Homo-oligomer: A and B are copies of this chain.
């Protein structure tokens, strides 16, 4: 390994008062963490500090005492309160110099966008001496690694905006760090729908408690449960095999019937299944207002299985485009199994699809009644063997929760329907 450095552990230190006051969510830490985990670099602690050089210096020094590498994000911007570089240079006894390549890149970035480069942008090309510089392909601030050869420590500085940080991490930082690592981790996630975390955990409790390599851990998120299987070793393929054996073992338990995939999402599993079977999906959405279509089309290549959908917020649209009968709407209301059923049939026919999925319900916070409370949603599925509906009674944990839960149920229903073709 280069310079006899070895990176076995890392800490993430994000800089920004906007994170501390809750103005932005710290997605950078999650992104960096998952990449480090894949490389087998241990992380025991991560933290956030505001734009204050004294505190930044204090926490950075402590983090460097504990970990081989500290990865920082934020504070490389053009404004006066961006002080990460200066603080790191000071702590590590380096001075800053104007890095010519970075200055040229900055100038061409602004020229290409026909924007005038302001003086404060020039500050972004100042680099601590002896650093490895990472070009920024999506923004202005370059990243850098400052190596302390004596102590065997590395500080990596990355820009704060996620769209700049992600490609820099993937394309520059991971290859750079891989010079200093040995063992690998492989993780696989078992995706489960329709069974709660407590139930899953109690079924696989024995396995979780007794397995050390791979380890098994449950996570709950947005009405789904995942079991994360993580194997450690010196070889990627051997780790992957350990994971696969464990996945097979868990498939044999009661959890098995609720497993819909491994390392996937409901929408990815759905698009893949529809492709495999050569089926087309059509969507009619009332309460979810396009969220199901948006989620399906989040998947690249979804155009092969999805021609289109209708967002039918108003009854008039349910009638004119989807062919829901006026009688149905009058007698049973827009939020009813009859309407869901006609919407599903209507959109399937309209789009000339194999499977039509419809949702109509009360997303809240307004619009609920005792008879039809917020969270009541009807799901219609029109497919191979006619049309059926399902009444969902989603807990009223807010509009977003109701809509996301209804969307997940619709995706799962479509996946199950595709299965029987």
List the interface of chain A (C-beta within 8 A of B).
Answer: 17-27, 29-37, 43-50, 52, 55, 59, 77-81, 115, 118, 120-121, 138, 140, 161, 163, 166-167, 187, 189, 196-199, 201-202, 205, 208-209, 217-221, 226, 228, 230, 283, 285, 288-294, 296-298, 300-303, 306-314, 316-317, 321, 350-352, 363-366, 395, 397-401, 403
Please tell me if the beta carbons of B55 and A49 are within 8 angstroms of each other in the complex: no
Inside 8 A of A46's CB, which chain B residues have their CB? 19-20, 47-48
* Least distance between A395 CB and chain B CB atoms (Å): 7
Asked if B220 and A161 sit within 8 Å, CB to CB, the answer is yes
Are B26 and A26 in contact, with the CB atoms below 8 A?
A: yes
Which of B32, B45, B209 contacts A22 (CB under 8 A)?
B32
Please tell me if the beta carbons of B19 and A30 are within 8 angstroms of each other in the complex: yes
Interface centre among A198, A218, A401 (most CB of B within 10 A): A198
Nearest to A81 among chain B residues (CB) is B217
Chain B residue, CB-CB nearest to A14: B46
Contacts of A47 in B (CB 8 A): 45-48
Q: CB within 8 A of A18: which of B228, B292, B401?
A: B228
Q: Is the interface of A mostly helix, strand, loop or mixed?
A: mixed
What are the residues of chain B within 8 A of A399 when measuring CB–CB?
298, 300
Would B310 and A303 count as touching, CB distance under 8 A? no
On whether the beta carbons of A120 and B217 are closer than 8 Å, the reply is no
Distance from A34 Cβ to chain B, minimum over Cβ atoms (Å): 3
- In the assembled complex, which residues on chain B have CB atoms less than 8 Å from the CB atom of A44? 20, 49-50, 52, 55
Known: A30-B24, A308-B311, A311-B309. A17 touches B217 (CB 8 A): yes
For residue A334, give the distance in angstroms from its CB to the closest CB of chain B: 10
Given that A198-B121, A289-B296 are contacting pairs, would A219 and B18 also be in contact in the complex, using a CB cutoff of 8 Å? yes
Q: Considering the chains assembled together, what is the distance between the CA atoms of A297 and B312 in angstroms?
A: 11
- With a cutoff of 8 Å between Cβ atoms, the chain B residues found around residue A81 in the complex are 217
| Chain B contacts for A187, CB-based, 8 A | 21
Q: Given that A35-B22, A397-B138 are known contacts, is A302 also in contact with B314, CB under 8 Å in the complex?
A: no
Query: How many Å lie between the Cα of A368 and that of B366 in the bound state?
Result: 43
Task: Determine how close the nearest CB of chain B comes to the CB of A399; give it in whole angstroms.
Answer: 6
Known A201-B78, A307-B316, A314-B303; contact A33-B45, beta-carbon cutoff 8 A:
no
- Beyond A19-B30, A34-B23, A199-B115, whether A297 also contacts B313 by CB under 8 A is yes
Q: Which of B49, B52, B196, B397 contacts A163 (CB 8 A)?
A: B397
From known contacts A48-B46, A308-B313, A351-B317, infer whether A221 and B24 are also in contact, taking CB-CB under 8 Å.
Answer: yes
A43–B49 Cα distance when bound, in Å, is 9
Task: State whether B300 touches A366 (Cβ < 8 A).
Answer: yes
CB-defined A-B contacts under 8 Å, sample of 10:
A18-B219, A21-B187, A22-B34, A23-B226, A23-B228, A79-B201, A138-B395, A283-B311, A289-B302, A290-B297
Q: Which among B27, B35, B59, B307 is the interface contact of A317 at CB below 8 angstroms?
A: B307
Can you add 5 more A-B contacts, CB < 8 Å, to A303-B314, A309-B310? A21-B37, A45-B55, A46-B48, A166-B398, A297-B363
Q: How far is the CA of A25 from the CA of B79 in the complex (A)?
A: 27
- A103 nearest CB across to chain B (Å): 16
Closest to A18 in B: B219
CB of A229 to closest CB in B, whole Å: 12
Which residue of chain B has the shortest Cβ distance to A320 in the bound complex?
Answer: B350
In contact, B313 and A310 (Cβ under 8 angstroms): no
Q: A228-B23, A311-B310, A317-B307 are in contact. Are A294 and B301 (CB under 8 A)?
A: no
